[in-house]
Structure 1
Amino acid sequence: MTAFFPLPPCAAPGAPSPIEATGRTLRWGVVSTGRIADAVVSDINLLEDARLLAVSSRDRGRAEAFAARHGAEKTYHDADGMAAYLRMFADPEIDVVYIATPHGQHYEVARAALEAGKHVLCEKSLTINAAEAEELVRLAGANGLFLMEAIWTRFLPAVHRALSIVHSGELGDVAWVRADLGFPAAYDPQWRLWDPAAGGGALLDLAVYPLTWALGALGFPQLVQAAGVLNDDGVDAQEALTLTYSGGRQAQLMCSLIGAGPRDATISCTAGWLRTGQPLNNPSTIEVYPVGAEARVEEFEPVGRNFTYELRETTRCIQEGLTESPTIPWAHTVDTMRLLDGVRNQLGLRYANDGQAVVRGRR
């Protein structure tokens, strides 16, 4: 049995460092200047075959400060953020754009980039709902463009090593998975995490990481049961998910913006178990406990901030003319969004985007 997520070349044992060039240099444009963009762009600059060409923002000062900090050659800015993004997408020198806006803007911005002929790496979650994800996939396919949801955890050597151990049979058959990710986030209705218009809440921001371990070990479930807490603004502050599989196998996942936790994952098998280091979305260790044999710890050194691995896969795929990564294929992204749609239906969680029809790329 092989791991559920195909091993990307950059994470294979003995692979060259992900900063090493694999082909022609790609010219990048960046949408947004927030914290995650700051971190990812620092790793873009590590790649030998990447050139940070431009950054776009609603705020001129933020755009210029970001460009100065990271060495971007151009800035695009406008109080109407979409106007700034569209001008950047019209730049013929840009090959690929990285989108780091709040979730609620992902569909509109990614759609505009694809319509302008740009390859797209978009932060998770790719969209607010499955309908939006399906439309972006259709548009990317129709235009022969690369599109990928930026779930960096999927490309990390530690994650693939852990899943390879699980699927090797060393620990027997998988029985259950437990994973959690949470932290107490101070309430601020202006912060994207608590802003319903931005797609705020624990589900879209955090759930993909515990899900990575459940889907990697067991695949998609037969049944999902969800319970959660919505605040007065209708934003999900916390949820617990139980995923049920054939043979009685289960995964129990917790996401929270109101409580701290161990932020790790455990995979229990019939002949042993495995636990990730903290945090489960970027572990530097995995602990392996075979029944009747000596336990061991395996360690992994980061490269940059470890976004380098997803950036290498994006670069490799574009260089090779691929439109989707085998590690995060489009069908898997859409199926994940459908799973999250089902969770939201159980929680009574709604977003503004849900009421807007998606018709061939237009609202």
Structure 2
Amino acid sequence: MPAGTLAPFVAASLDAAHLDEPLSPTGRTLGWGVVSTADIAEKVVPDIAALPDARLVAVSSRDQHRAEDFARRHGVERAYGNSAGATGLERLAADPEVEVAYVATPHGYHHRDVSALLRAGKHVVCEKALAMTAAEVRDLQDLARGHGVFLMEAVWTRMTPGFRTAMGWVRAGRLGRVHSVEASIGMHRPVDPAHRLFRNADGGGVLLDMMVYPLTWTGAALGTPRSWSARAELGDTAVDLDTALTLDFGHGRGHVSGTLAATVPHQVVISGTEGWLRVDGRINCPTTLVRQSADGARERAAPVVEHVEVTGGGYVYEMREATRCIQQGLPESPVMPWADSLELVELFDRVRERIGLSYPNDRR
């Protein structure tokens, strides 16, 4: 990507007028299925339900009672748990009224679950990471292509109003030419071998769970790095507890980090020739943006603070984008294209090799 330009997905996001009014319908009503009753599904499903052109048809879980409880609380029409003849996922995939499925299972199950849905002819929106390795992502994309269905990794940040506002400032030249992006995310969390974040087989750790967010910001403003270095701390459960990447873009630099081992500020700082921009708090769905111009810095003026309103839990924007794409017959989203999902997981594969992290049945 030439110096001074933004990634193509940024233009697609900024020019997506439907994201300005995410609760306005963009076409016919779609029947949704929800795979898993995990915590993230509890947060995301109310935003799907808020879409006027969405209908919550079914939810699946390994446990029938858990599926029924989730369905009752979220207004889902049918609940599918494991039965003697089929799993909850298989029962959902066989439901003819489910057109698109939102997959909220842990990373380690994504390839299995998404494959089953694609083979059943369902469109799929899958939580990040789309799969654990580049080989698995390529396989899913080949399946989606072969079955003529939509597939999108749910990197919601790209569609949120805070991200779009920040990138609008960058595109308008308010920062001048961007030279650096620094971003951090994480928390101190006591090791719990039973939790997905600390289970190697589930793709636990920082890399797959957190690093997509800081890398979204470097990728947007600087593109693809030409070289990088990594450091990481691996825990007793064979997941990365603390990972940092230093990125060289030729025309700029980046430093991104994620951690489960320390209390850190969630923050992004984008610095350019004419000013800087800071995202405070939720870098995955920003609500507070701080901007300082070069003139303001010289004059010691106070930075400009802008608060950004977010609809619902902030997931409604990615679900509006997926809905619009499916309604229009698109196989992938221009805001979250397949090539970007593959490029990111290819980087993760190389990082894992560098830091000595592997998964069971590793496919690269």
Give the shorter-chain TM-score range.
over 0.9
Contact 2:31 2:54 in 1 (8 A): yes
Deviation at 1:86, TM superposition (A): 1.1
Q: How does 1:156-175 map to 2 (within 5 A)?
A: 156-175=160-179
Deviation at 1:217, TM superposition (A): 0.8
Q: Distance in 2 between matches of 1:277 and 1:16?
A: 22
Contact 2:32 2:102 in 1 (8 A): yes
Q: Distance in 2 between matches of 1:308 and 1:289?
A: 30
The residue aligned with 2:244 is 240
Q: Distance in 2 between matches of 1:72 and 1:157?
A: 28
1:26 aligns with 2:35: no
Q: How does 1:3-42 map to 2 (within 5 A)?
A: 3-4=6-7, 5-8=9-12, 12=16, 16-42=20-46
Q: Distance in 2 between matches of 1:257 and 1:23?
A: 42
The residue aligned with 1:176 is 180
Contact 2:214 2:256 in 1 (8 A): yes
1:284 aligns with 2:292: no
Cα separation, partners in 2 of 1:232 and 1:139, compared to 1, 3 Å: same
Whichever residue aligns with residue 282 of structure 2, its letter is: P
Deviation at 1:342, TM superposition (A): 0.9
Whichever residue aligns with residue 278 of structure 2, its letter is: R
Cα separation, partners in 2 of 1:169 and 1:127, compared to 1, 3 Å: same
The residue aligned with 2:348 is 340
The residue aligned with 1:360 is none
Deviation at 1:167, TM superposition (A): 3.1
Contact 1:10 1:16 in 2 (8 A): no
Q: Distance in 1 between matches of 2:342 and 2:259?
A: 24
Q: How does 1:324-335 map to 2 (within 5 A)?
A: 324-335=332-343
Whichever residue aligns with residue 47 of structure 2, its letter is: D
Q: Deviations over 1:149-201 (max 9, x none)?
A: 00110101210221222233222211111100001122111100001111110
Once superposed, what is the RMSD of the aligned Cα atoms? 1.9
Contact 2:56 2:77 in 1 (8 A): yes
The residue aligned with 1:305 is 313
Cα separation, partners in 2 of 1:14 and 1:79, compared to 1, 3 Å: closer
Contact 1:11 1:309 in 2 (8 A): no
Deviation at 1:62, TM superposition (A): 1.2
Q: Distance in 2 between matches of 1:8 and 1:66?
A: 35
The residue aligned with 1:250 is 253
Give TM-score, length-normalised by structure 2. 0.93
Q: Distance in 1 between matches of 2:14 and 2:334?
A: 13
Whichever residue aligns with residue 99 of structure 2, its letter is: D
Q: How does 1:341-360 map to 2 (within 5 A)?
A: 341-355=349-363
Question: Which of 188, 194, 197 is 1:190 aligned to?
Answer: 194
Q: Distance in 2 between matches of 1:341 and 1:205?
A: 14
Contact 1:119 1:146 in 2 (8 A): yes
Q: Distance in 2 between matches of 1:12 and 1:38?
A: 27
Question: Which of 256, 267, 270 is 1:264 aligned to?
Answer: 267
After TM superposition, what 4+ stretches of structure 1 lie above 6 angstroms from structure 2?
A: 79-82
Q: Distance in 1 between matches of 2:348 and 2:84?
A: 30
Give TM-score, length-normalised by structure 1. 0.94
Q: Secondary structure of the equivalent of 2:281? A: coil
Question: Which of 70, 91, 96 is 2:95 aligned to?
Answer: 91
Q: How does 1:43-82 map to 2 (within 5 A)?
A: 43-78=47-82
Q: Deviations over 1:73-94 (max 9, x none)?
A: 1011017998210111011111
Whichever residue aligns with residue 111 of structure 1, its letter is: S
Q: Distance in 1 between matches of 2:263 and 2:18?
A: 36
Deviation at 1:208, TM superposition (A): 0.3
Cα separation, partners in 2 of 1:289 and 1:55, compared to 1, 3 Å: same
Deviation at 1:143, TM superposition (A): 1.4
Q: Which moved more, 1:78-87 or 1:53-62?
A: 78-87
Deviation at 1:59, TM superposition (A): 1.2
Q: Deviations over 1:52-80 (max 9, x none)?
A: 00000011221111001101110110179
Q: Distance in 2 between matches of 1:82 and 1:183?
A: 39
Q: Distance in 1 between matches of 2:85 and 2:39?
A: 17
Q: Secondary structure of the equivalent of 1:354? A: coil
Count of residue pairs the alignment pairs up? 355
Q: Distance in 2 between matches of 1:283 and 1:183?
A: 17
Cα separation, partners in 2 of 1:133 and 1:14, compared to 1, 3 Å: closer
Deviation at 1:315, TM superposition (A): 0.2
The residue aligned with 2:207 is 203
Q: Deviations over 1:95-118 (max 9, x none)?
A: 000000000000010011000000
Q: Which moved more, 1:158-167 or 1:282-291?
A: 158-167
